[in-house]
Structure 1
């Protein structure tokens, strides 16, 4: 999250993003991607245990796109009116880099870990899916504090986490993460990348008024 006041119109470049992205990959993304596979390998569980199934793809894509667009808009509005009037406008190339990361790396890995692994493991240990839902949603929400997100931002994460969980919970078994991954990617991009552009365009219109 940027802490630059809007009138300065500070840009975020590929170099800026890369400075935080590669350490994030090493310290967060890779471990979160590896742990679920180690768990199912050790216990000889199928990939479907993690929600890695390939069925109802057209339906999953449609749900992911429709809900994802709504959630991206919601995230941008939440960022604008709840989190605060700060933005750091990405360059075009940085938009592509951030968008790729949020849609194809961060979203899939976080869903694999929280909705796939944590949810399934807690349900397996306790015998009740309610505990799996509660623990996975709570840990997903609160772990953002490790990134020093403020509580307003964490509150938005919690709301998004409820939507992600409901999409996953509403499915018949075996559940698939595909739609949730798409919605997650759109939401994060709307909050952290596209939201900056929306806030800049809004500020620009106000300056010209």
Structure 2
């Protein structure tokens, strides 16, 4: 079954998502920084090695996008349900994932949580593991099944390692770029591109997969 999502569909969940998820994830590190005097650069808000960050991030982002798109298609085939944004919703969703979702999640999970645990525990690998577990489990709040949660956990581990293995001071630039690519591959551009390719090659059968607006 094919579901074409519209701007109205996405805006309904985005309004709630902003209020109950992204705003708190943004505020908590700011509040901790203000209360403790820890500088924000300790949470990865630096632009210290941009050339290195982009050279690392771009190939990893391409690979992450491809894997995420393939995984989304695998899940859709298992469930016999394809959620594909229409052209306007594609722009809205992609903008949301690029400019809000990926930067804020990386700010909280990698910069604040992983960075804070690394400083506190003095055990970077353990900090990556704990942050990855929390990041994966946090996707259960959205009632995801175990397969997409497992995929999110694997992505979180990769992002944690990207954040860990970089020169001091650690920057959120590379993991944020890769995170945005993975999310777009899984939820917006990936499904849209695969659907467009299938339709162009005659692999989309309208009678078997009716469109629901």
Name the residue aligned to 2:192.
Answer: 197
RMSD over equivalenced CA pairs, Å: 1.6
Name the residue aligned to 1:25.
Answer: 18
Q: CA deviation at 1:109?
A: 0.5
Q: CA deviation at 1:156?
A: 0.8
Q: Distance in 2 between matches of 1:88 and 1:35?
A: 32
TM-score, normalising length: structure 1: 0.90
Match of 1:206 among 190, 203, 206: 203
Q: For structure 1, which segment, 128-137 or 35-44, has the greater mean C-alpha deviation from structure 2 after superposition?
A: 128-137
**Contact persistence 1:189–1:195 (CA under 8 A):** yes
Runs of 4+ aligned structure 1 residues displaced above 6 Å come to: none
**Contact persistence 1:87–1:199 (CA under 8 A):** no
Q: For structure 1, which segment, 25-34 or 165-174, has the greater mean C-alpha deviation from structure 2 after superposition?
A: 165-174
User: Runs of 5+ in structure 2 lacking a partner?
Assistant: 206-213
TM-score, normalising length: structure 2: 0.88
Alignment coverage as a number of residue pairs? 201
- State the Cα deviation string for residues 153-183 of structure 1 (Å, max 9, x = none): 0111111112111111110221001010010
Q: Distance in 1 between matches of 2:59 and 2:46?
A: 21
**Contact persistence 1:64–1:182 (CA under 8 A):** yes
Name the residue aligned to 1:93.
Answer: 88
**Contact persistence 2:124–2:164 (CA under 8 A):** no
Q: 1:34 and 2:27 equivalent?
A: yes
Name the residue aligned to 1:76.
Answer: 69
Output aligned runs, 1:123-138, within 5 Å: 123-138=118-133
Name the residue aligned to 1:187.
Answer: 182
Q: CA deviation at 1:36?
A: 0.6
Q: CA deviation at 1:59?
A: 2.2
**Contact persistence 2:139–2:149 (CA under 8 A):** yes
Q: CA deviation at 1:64?
A: 2.0
Q: Secondary structure at the match of 1:10?
A: strand
Q: Secondary structure at the match of 1:54?
A: coil
Q: 1:175 and 2:163 equivalent?
A: no
**Contact persistence 1:32–1:109 (CA under 8 A):** yes
Q: CA deviation at 1:129?
A: 1.9
Name the residue aligned to 1:114.
Answer: 109
Name the residue aligned to 1:16.
Answer: 9
Q: CA deviation at 1:49?
A: 1.1
